[in-house]
Amino acid sequence: MWAGSPTTVVYAAYGGVMERPSVRVSIANFRDYDAPFATKLKLVLANNLTKLRNHSGCCGNHGQPGC
């Protein structure tokens, strides 16, 4: 079920509101995260593997690269 802005998703089963996955947000997280480049790449890999393993659009680490 969609409600609100185009980037907001309402998950009725969980009763919560989450941001819709976006390339723009992912790039901003990568650019703005304060860590060395190698650490950012590790986080992108780890967070995307978490999303794949859980069949989810979010890894749960909001603001980190790859989420």
Contacts of 20 (CB under 8 A, 6+ apart): 6, 7, 8, 9, 57
Find, among 11, 13, 32, 9, the residue nearest to 21 by Cα: 9
pLDDT at 18: 58
- How far from the centroid of its chain's Cα atoms is residue 40's Cα? 14
pLDDT at 55: 86
Residue labelled with tokens 């089963």: 13
C-alpha 65/C-alpha 47 separation (Å) is 8
Answering whether pTM is above 0.95, one says no
pLDDT along the chain (67 residues), means of 10: 47 52 83 94 92 86 84
